[in-house]
Structure 1
Amino acid sequence: MFLRFCLPSLLLLITSTLLAQEASPKPLKALQESYDVVIAGAGTGGFGAAMQAARMGATVLLLEETDYIGGQMNAAAVTSMDEGPIIVRERGLYHEFVDAVNAHYNKLGMSAETAYGFRHICMEPHVGQQILYDMLAEARTHTKALDITLQAQVTEVLKEGNAVTGVKITSGKKTRTIQSKILMDATEWGDVIPLTGARYRVGNCFNDNVDMKRRIQDLTWTAVIKEYPQGVPDELVIHEAPPGYTPAVHQGFVRTLAAGDDILSKEAPWSFERFIRYRGMPNSEQPNKVGVITRTHMNFNNDHPTTIGDVEDLTSRQKTLRSAMLKTLHLLYYVQHTIGKTDWSVANDEGYDTPYNRAQMDAWIADQPELAPYRDILYHFSIMAYARESRRIVGLHTLRAREIERKPRQPTEFINTIALGDYAVDLHGSKKPELLELDLDPVEDIPQGSFGSHGTGPFAIPFECFIPETVDGFIPAEKNISQSRLANGATRLQPSTMLMGQAAGAIAALAIQNQVQPRQLDPILVQDTLLKTGDTLQITPLKDIAKTSWEWQPAQMVTVRGLMSLKEGKFLPDQPLTPEAAAQIFKCAFDQAVKFPTPVTPTVFAEKLKKALAEHQVTLTGLDNLAKTSQAMTRREAADLMAQGLVKLAQARQTQTPQTFAWPAPRTPTPIDLAEISPQLAADLRVLIDHKLISSFDYWIAHATENSTCSGKNVGILLKNTARSLQPQRPADEAVMTCVEEGILGTPGYWQKSAVEGSTCSGTNVQTVIRRIAQIMLTKKPLKAAAPSA
């Protein structure tokens, strides 16, 4: 009986242990002589590239110059995920990662949505690092080698002509030469790019004409801090002001951070409560504190000015990094002494007390002995700086701010899109026109005013941004792709860099499989690979096709490539293919002007398609089985057919060999599940159900949407239930004002007029209210009392 129940768990434990061992770091001497792909930098970009390339069978060497993987997300402790508002969590590897984070904390009975006032995913850095190792262990099962080496750097790039063929790697005093088919720079500063000879931008300069004093984005040396309920260990208490803590430094903090628990005011100075909620983390030490932040990281008022010289010159960089660390030490002193948070200090359980971190802190203290009293605290600072800007290759295309702008214009829909971003253009410092690339981003494209003034939401990043002008055997990842400074302000965040890394990994693996250089690769093959992994490439969320349906991938492919169009976010899969839509397919796929009769039957379409494909070495078979019908083929059928056709056309071009595919057999349409079309709304509604604010979500999932309306009576009941939950002593007729005070509603007028019987409320507005209610309720324990029906 014992074996019957315990053996599966035992086998799972053994398997997990073996996988972890396979993905654990290897010393330099244990590495192979050559790898298909060598990736410098094990941050989010390097991780994404390694995962994708390994899953496609490539042998991969992942190098990290520190001894903590995860880059800006883990090693720099920026674990508050900077997500845009739409479709971010449904995309590729980032979706997998978020699922793993949620699963980890769900087991502890905790929510991972703690950042930015309980709105965004966050995790403890050591949890994030372990999840990356676990995912890499799984990817290792798909390839002969996925090796990880820590405290190792690429110090020389080997080339034959204009193609990279290998690298010299240095770890400590030892050096190894490793051959590669593809080298990738996923470092936080783009440090490998100069070694390749590729042309690059740094700040608003090109590499051959650098102004070392010119400003770039500020960096931040963060520190994870937590509450110590039993008191802060003495070695983590700052007893005296650190060196350099001047009155001017003190007044700078006074202007930005004050004592108090107000969380609504956005004006400076912030309260300490707002400060810790901003980057709030789950705290595995205190899992029972629902709605209370007891762990966060300091990354708000400790930005540090940075110059091009800090990128280009390692001596200058070290000086600036040490100055940034000192500023964060000053901030911690201010928190403990001026704010009076004597029960808060640097977290001692994030695994930052590593040999690498000790060595860099010891070296700093050796140069500045007056820092010796703070040694134990510095050992627990994050491993690296949060560097927001790096070198950027000059590629076949340079992504510009205007191409990703979401307000007032629409972002560019590149047909060769291979990754999406969704964050606002956000530069920390250095946003003056004289510091930008005005040949790429004119003055009118510089965002002014508040964060997000030029919009948030999905934008496209094309294949050509990953291909250097002339150098072969080399691909950038992380922040190092071809883009302007302003564009980098939106692509530099963790979800985007992880997905850009995944795209780079797909390019590398496909180039190796097809024995070509990345620039010779057909982007359609990259798109097909990424869509099959569950990535998203269409910048417009599909409103009538669920991601779990078989229709989703073909619809993504044909709409991204421009063969078929969306109408207000709807693909309309059941509607007949019109002659105009059929002509658009042929124009985009074959550059042919073809006229179609009404209706466009499968037989008519097949006849013209077979001829067009044949001109490109692709044979379409299975036409004898087509039903002789007078009914038009549907848009669903056309998408299924043409998505396969595009891939076959790409394979024919890529391999210069004839390709064949059959007309797809009829497939059963997937019923629409509104919860799958609107996963965020569905998740929010489940929170409301858990807290007894609504009895079911069927009504809301259908009506709290764009281009729909909700019954004013039902909305009124929802607001009353919410108000009763938040302020139970207040009269029910003051529900709207209660919700205004709680930050759920902006102003009362609209809701006092519309959230009543006989009136209606905008579905879009109600969806926003539901999101805000859910965010607040995630910080509170569920109610026991049942809610009135709404």
Structure 2
Amino acid sequence: MPVLTTDILIVGGGVGGCACALAACEAGLTVILTEESDWIGGQFTTQATPPDEHGWIEQFGCTQTYRQFRENVRDYYRTHYPLTPEARLNPTLNPGNGWVSPLCAEPIVFLRVLQAMLQPYIDRQRLTILYEYEATEAVYEADTVQSVTLQHTQTSESVWVNARYFVDATELGDLLPLTGTDYVTGSESQAETGELSAAPVARPGNVQAFSVCFAMSYHEGEDWTIDKPARYDYWRTFVPPLLPAWSGPLLSLTGLSPRTLQPVQYNFQPNREPNRAFAGLWTYRRILDKNLFQEGAFESDITLVNYPQIDYLGGDLSEASPAERARYVQEAKEQSLSFLYYLQTELGFRGLKLRPDVVGTADGLAKRPYIRESRRIKAEFTIREQHVSAHLRPGSTLAEPFPDSVGLGFYRIDLHPSLGGDNYIDVESLPFQIPLGSLLPERVENLLPACKNIGTTHITNGCYRLHPIEWNIGESVGHLLAYCLEKGVSPRQVRNTPTLLIDFQAALTRRGIPIEWPDNLVLSEGDPHRHAL
């Protein structure tokens, strides 16, 4: 078996993994980054989900490199696309005019920009990206990981990687059980966490629904109806087994408001829907607004479907066997196609066209499921609802300050329906920090998380799982490991030695990673008015 040696092995090429690689390579380290598919980018690309962001994102509240990434996306459109003169001159160009985010764009553009940002380090031989590889084994002793075995997903060829540090940036925390790192899944009990929104009993299998997203356009007068899915009749009558009860069959334009749990009627008007409309499905995650481009450049808008109707509640991917995982994903794909078929046939939108060219697959569905909840490390410090909830911090405009802050984030505590029968849990949060303690496993010394697998609870995962926050987590981890290798100290020593912590936080600030929010925030201006449906 071939053996590779590197400073850092990052398993998982999603948002956090890419940001971690950028930071570590910038600091001069050698990095091997793995990705299970043939695209890096995670939520942005393989999961086909434009970013969920707070209302201040254009001015502050994210890292400098995340802001550069966003501007590079806009520049890509200005350089390569026939924009109208007005759109080209718009400094806050939103190519899709989707209302979930001020930057809705095509997965391939996010991919191209990420590749361009990483390419200089590949050229300098600091970075190696291993596509279509997954971790299958690990060698560890006591509290130290020594090596990880990677296997090619197509050929089954294996490679053994020795590293000084290991980073789990997988979407489901897959490196944690392989390395003996203690973790939790599902929902904790209220007795464990003291959280107002927690249930009386812990339920390890009670994870949020995942979704298989897809892109579509609309062509009036044409018929792009797909073949009827095999179990369409099942999905057409499926009512999620939730409390409080769902409004009726899931495949419908009637659902529940996440904030009030009252029935809501969704709008769906392809190519005609107003740009800003709560519950407007077509414009929700629209990634290309044809009106921003020169006349005739595009026949239709393109929108990404990540709606409640495709939330899959049939099984927990994180603790499933490979066979079970494959079955759950296949069923979720059928559910997604059933919703498309419902729109085409029962609602009469036969001109809806599945767009495999947009997501880079043969079947027209995203390369990977959109994951909302992962295994989470048992951390030196766990973020709880009482740290970030607006209701539990009356009179405050900021979440609880953390002296070991290594970054910022802001989004509502937003949990989709879960396998244990919980309906939406939607709680107003306050602008929060990312504590270094939440990135440190209780025991293992040389493995860190860089995705949705940090030290949150089931509840606070709902506000720490979004794109800019995951980027900040990965970037801060990359810089932390570079700092540790330069100084000859451990991550735990950095957090627990005041002089080292202050020095490291200053280094983060110099690199454009803010660790404190401004004191004079007006919450109504930064509240994510675009709710993640």
Residues in 2 aligned to 1:213 and 1:400: alpha-carbon distance in whole angstroms: 17
Q: CA deviation at 1:431?
A: 9.6
1:661-717 deviation line (CA, Å, top 9, x unaligned): xxxxxxxxxxxxxxxxxxxxxxxxxxxxxxxxxxxxxxxxxxxxx7xxxxxxxxxxx
The answer to whether residue 150 in structure 2 is matched with residue 169 in structure 1 is yes
1:471-496 deviation line (CA, Å, top 9, x unaligned): 11111110011111111100111111
Q: Are residues 393 and 325 of structure 1, via their aligned partners in 2, closer, same or farther at CA, if it must alter by over 3 Å?
A: same
Kept in 2, the 8 Å contact 1:425–1:447? The answer is no
1:54-94 deviation line (CA, Å, top 9, x unaligned): 10111000001111211122101012x21112346632222
Q: Are residues 216 and 329 of structure 1, via their aligned partners in 2, closer, same or farther at CA, if it must alter by over 3 Å?
A: same
Name the structure 2 match of 1:386: 370
The answer to whether residue 524 in structure 2 is matched with residue 524 in structure 1 is no
Name the structure 1 match of 2:413: 425
User: What's the Cα RMSD here?
Assistant: 3.4
1:141-188 deviation line (CA, Å, top 9, x unaligned): 6x6420101110111122243211221111132111111000000000
Residues in 2 aligned to 1:170 and 1:195: alpha-carbon distance in whole angstroms: 14
Q: CA deviation at 1:526?
A: 3.2
- Given candidates 76, 94, 97, the residue that maps to 2:69 is 97
Residues in 2 aligned to 1:281 and 1:144: alpha-carbon distance in whole angstroms: 34
Kept in 2, the 8 Å contact 1:63–1:152? The answer is yes
Task: Tell me the SS of whatever aligns to 1:509.
Answer: helix
Q: CA deviation at 1:292?
A: 10
Q: CA deviation at 1:106?
A: 3.2
Task: Tell me the SS of whatever aligns to 1:495.
Answer: helix
- Given candidates 261, 264, 269, the residue that maps to 1:267 is 264
1:257-297 deviation line (CA, Å, top 9, x unaligned): 69xxxxxxx93243344211011112689823699971111
Alignment of 1:63-78 (within 5 A): 63-78=34-49
- Given candidates 446, 459, 468, the residue that maps to 1:486 is 459
Kindly provide the amino acid, as one letter, of the partner of residue 298 in structure 1.
V
Task: Tell me the SS of whatever aligns to 1:267.
Answer: strand
Q: CA deviation at 1:252?
A: 2.5
- Given candidates 195, 213, 216, the residue that maps to 1:222 is 213
Q: CA deviation at 1:519?
A: 1.5
- Given candidates 183, 195, 198, the residue that maps to 2:178 is 195
Residues in 1 aligned to 2:131 and 2:203: alpha-carbon distance in whole angstroms: 30
Q: CA deviation at 1:345?
A: 1.5
Q: CA deviation at 1:309?
A: 6.3
Q: Are residues 317 and 481 of structure 1, via their aligned partners in 2, closer, same or farther at CA, if it must alter by over 3 Å?
A: same
Q: CA deviation at 1:414?
A: 0.7
Q: Are residues 311 and 97 of structure 1, via their aligned partners in 2, closer, same or farther at CA, if it must alter by over 3 Å?
A: farther
Q: Kindly tell me the number of residue pairs found equivalent between the two proteins.
A: 469
- Given candidates 242, 248, 253, the residue that maps to 1:256 is 253
Residues in 1 aligned to 2:298 and 2:428: alpha-carbon distance in whole angstroms: 32
Kept in 2, the 8 Å contact 1:276–1:293? The answer is no
Kept in 2, the 8 Å contact 1:311–1:390? The answer is no
Q: CA deviation at 1:339?
A: 2.4
Alignment of 1:440-479 (within 5 A): 451=426, 453-455=427-429, 457-479=430-452
Residues in 2 aligned to 1:88 and 1:492: alpha-carbon distance in whole angstroms: 19
Kept in 1, the 8 Å contact 2:187–2:203? The answer is no
Residues in 2 aligned to 1:390 and 1:199: alpha-carbon distance in whole angstroms: 13
Alignment of 1:135-154 (within 5 A): 135-140=117-122, 144-154=125-135
Residues in 2 aligned to 1:144 and 1:119: alpha-carbon distance in whole angstroms: 35
Name the structure 2 match of 1:414: 402
Residues in 1 aligned to 2:145 and 2:347: alpha-carbon distance in whole angstroms: 54
Task: Tell me the SS of whatever aligns to 1:350.
Answer: helix
Kept in 1, the 8 Å contact 2:316–2:419? The answer is no
1:124-149 deviation line (CA, Å, top 9, x unaligned): 011111111011113446x6420101
Q: CA deviation at 1:198?
A: 1.2
Kindly provide the amino acid, as one letter, of the partner of residue 264 in structure 2.
E
Greater helix fraction, Structure 1 or Structure 2: 1
Task: Tell me the SS of whatever aligns to 2:339.
Answer: helix
Kindly provide the amino acid, as one letter, of the partner of residue 271 in structure 1.
F
Q: Are residues 523 and 215 of structure 1, via their aligned partners in 2, closer, same or farther at CA, if it must alter by over 3 Å?
A: same
Q: CA deviation at 1:386?
A: 0.6
Residues in 2 aligned to 1:115 and 1:408: alpha-carbon distance in whole angstroms: 35
Kept in 2, the 8 Å contact 1:112–1:123? The answer is yes
Kindly provide the amino acid, as one letter, of the partner of residue 506 in structure 1.
H
Using CA pairs under 8 Å that are at least 6 residues apart, name the structure with larger relative contact order, 1 or 2. Answer: 2
Residues in 2 aligned to 1:114 and 1:402: alpha-carbon distance in whole angstroms: 36
Kept in 2, the 8 Å contact 1:221–1:325? The answer is yes
Greater strand fraction, Structure 1 or Structure 2: 2
Task: Tell me the SS of whatever aligns to 1:78.
Answer: coil
Q: CA deviation at 1:306?
A: 5.1
Kindly provide the amino acid, as one letter, of the partner of residue 430 in structure 1.
S
- Given candidates 333, 353, 372, the residue that maps to 1:345 is 353
Task: Tell me the SS of whatever aligns to 1:157.
Answer: strand
Instruction: Give % identity.
Output: 25
Residues in 2 aligned to 1:387 and 1:501: alpha-carbon distance in whole angstroms: 17
Kept in 1, the 8 Å contact 2:47–2:368? The answer is yes
Kindly provide the amino acid, as one letter, of the partner of residue 44 in structure 2.
M
Kindly provide the amino acid, as one letter, of the partner of residue 404 in structure 1.
V
Residues in 1 aligned to 2:118 and 2:290: alpha-carbon distance in whole angstroms: 23
Kindly provide the amino acid, as one letter, of the partner of residue 144 in structure 2.
A
Query: TM-score, normalised on structure 1?
Result: 0.55
Q: CA deviation at 1:317?
A: 2.2
Task: Tell me the SS of whatever aligns to 1:100.
Answer: helix
Name the structure 2 match of 1:56: 27
- Given candidates 313, 319, 323, the residue that maps to 2:327 is 319
Q: CA deviation at 1:245?
A: 2.8
Q: CA deviation at 1:458?
A: 2.1
Task: Tell me the SS of whatever aligns to 1:134.
Answer: helix
Task: Tell me the SS of whatever aligns to 2:286.
Answer: coil
Alignment of 1:490-505 (within 5 A): 490-505=463-478
Query: TM-score, normalised on structure 2?
Result: 0.79
